[in-house]
Structure 1
Amino acid sequence: MASSEKDEHLKAGPISKVIMPVTALGLILMLTVYVLYTELVLGTTGSDFQPPVAERALSFSDEDGEIVVRDGRSGDVLMTAGEGEESFMRQTVRQLARSRVRTGGSDQVPFVLQGKADGRLILEDPVTGQGVDLAAFGEDNAGAFARFLETEDDENSVEGP
């Protein structure tokens, strides 16, 4: 038996040359329909563009191992956490600060904490445009930041449209 006879069944016939592009086209079409459905019908787009119902500018600094949280506008100290405390807050701010350093941004610009109408809490860096959806890390971790929006005065509230 010659080797050409053995490998004859491995050669693509005229039908397999048509089926492969049709299958690929079908998969691309299904993916497109899925993306359009989830984005337009389910409304997953635009959720990040909701106006905040409350927001506060926050500055974070590391002073001798303590993290100091200040109001970004007034400079008032809101909280001081000792070494080993508030680890989620430390890590979150550290990651945003690293991105800021990589882009060459100023460390003097405060971060912005935003409470959205749907209950999400976002810590955003206006310098890099990056943000962290704090609710994704659980209620306790989001609560570490939420307390900075819960104030007696209304100066941190933002009027809705």
Structure 2
Amino acid sequence: MTLRFFVPVALFVLLLVGSLVLAVTRLHEEEVTEIDDSWRPRVVVPTQGEVWPQPMNQTKSNKTLSVDGSTFSFQYEGSCPVVQQALKRYQRQILFQNCSRSETPEGARRRRTRSALSPQTPSHDGHLDVLLVTVSHQCEDIPDHRMDESYSLSISSTEESFISARS
């Protein structure tokens, strides 16, 4: 009598476990196909000659300004050491890294090579010698999640070029 009762219970338990495994597997498959990846960063598409990181709003023109590493400078009147150090570092290590001055033999050789490869070099609409930098709020040593990282950048051949930010 106990054996007869045991077989149906064992069969029932086996079917129940099998159903649970099948349900969990299907649930897992549905989760895999419906993953919310909106938090993941999007693929960065490289640009050439554009602002990076890309701003939310941008107005472009077809004008081209030349920048000479030997004469270009940032003009910052503020007293924030974080900004001062960043501008020095940016100009020295990033902006004109691997550029040689045109008056050196290597620079002259590069200039001749470039003009030989592309004799139809587009003319420039002006020069950018100074970029004014303004920070309107207090200097912060350590960034935090409440900082306003927005900025305005205006590059012009006829007016002052500037970048301004709140922090």
Normalised by the length of structure 2, the TM-score is: 0.30
**Larger helix proportion of the pair:** 1
**Larger strand proportion of the pair:** 1
Normalised by the length of structure 1, the TM-score is: 0.30
- Give 1 or 2 for the bigger CA radius of gyration: 2
